[in-house]
Amino acid sequence: MSKIKTLLPWLVAAGIFAYLFHLYPPQKIWESLRFVRLATFIPFAIGYFFFILFVDIFSLTHLLKRFGFKIGAKELVPARGVTYLLMILNYAAGQAAFAYYLKRSHRIPLWEAFSIFFFVAFIDIYWVISLAFAGSFFLDFVIGGIALKKFVWGVAVAAYALFALNLFFWRGPLYRKLEGKNLKIVDWIRNKDIFRLLKEARISDYLRLALLRFPIHITLIISMYVVLLTFDVFVPFLQLLGNIPLVILTGMIPITPGGFGTTNAVMVELLNSHLKSPIFDQGIITPAELLFAASLLWMFSNLILKVLFGMICLKGVTKEFLHPPSQNIP
């Protein structure tokens, strides 16, 4: 069963890509790739990669410091690089490896490290949901003829209600009301290390981390605008502002590893009708074919950069595992 659980998402991804390549033949994808200006695309891809890495590490060091763990960015960069190698295969495994590194190198309890990454993921998910919700007031989300606007609204309302419940439970009247009933499950949850940040975080901590993570999410949107420009293709920025968060939200559904296939399919479905370029007047390729090719190129360029950077970082992180510092860090 464990092997099936591991292989099934990859089989689903393979099936989706097989279907996409049936719709958009490989020769058309190759024709589309011939239009990219590599002299612009390659520097932008490298700059994008390191900008996202910088913001990720900066926000993480701030969060660690806020909750009592002083770790410099120079120490976190190689560890994050190595986790990129694992995240390509399994996102959870990559985060678990990062938590293990923090435990071995800085004596951060494993479950508290998981609590830190859970808190970051919590903020990231709410940014994606909020951006998709904001975009729904300006755009009609339609996939396969099915309108998704009300679905996005439902997800957003449920998410905000859950966030309010979370605040009331950890720092509001709800816990005080439950505490008087002597419920063991409540005490068990509040005493678990993995929930430490949720227990101690103030509203200002949520807002501060959300502000620090915002550049990542707006860059994800801007990046596709620039990528399409390297193909001499224009798409209205408002379309990207509303639709890219929905693409990311789809990729978070654990159907395929890292959203492989699902994000490509949803992006083509949502955006292909909004692309404009003289290329399409030639009748060689369609907007859907070019968009699929651009999404593949962007996806694989990021994967290649993660692999290369991870391989460079691997040796340094291995030394940290073998020779962790002796001093205890509170």
* Residue 295 domain-assigned (yes or no): yes
In whole angstroms, give the CA distance from residue 166 to residue 160: 10
* Residue 131 domain-assigned (yes or no): yes
* Residue 272 domain-assigned (yes or no): yes
pLDDT at 329: 40
* Residue 189 domain-assigned (yes or no): yes
**Count of structural domains within the chain:** 1
pLDDT at 330: 39
* Residue 329 domain-assigned (yes or no): no
* Residue 328 domain-assigned (yes or no): no
In whole angstroms, give the CA distance from residue 285 to residue 266: 19
Q: Phi first, then psi: give them for residue 146, nearest 5 degrees.
A: -105, 125
In whole angstroms, give the CA distance from residue 21 to residue 28: 9
For the chain (330 residues), the mean pLDDT of every run of 10, in chain order, is: 76 91 93 94 96 94 88 86 82 80 82 86 92 86 78 92 85 65 68 77 91 94 94 91 89 82 91 91 90 94 93 72 45
pLDDT at 324: 45
User: The dihedral of CA 210, 212, 215, 217: what is its sign?
Assistant: negative
* Residue 330 domain-assigned (yes or no): no
The torsion angle over the Cα atoms of residues 299, 303, 309 and 313, rounded to 10 degrees, is 140
Rg, the chain, Cα only: 22
Report the run of H or E that residue 96 belongs to, with start and end. Answer: helix 91-106
Domain span including residue 73: 2-322
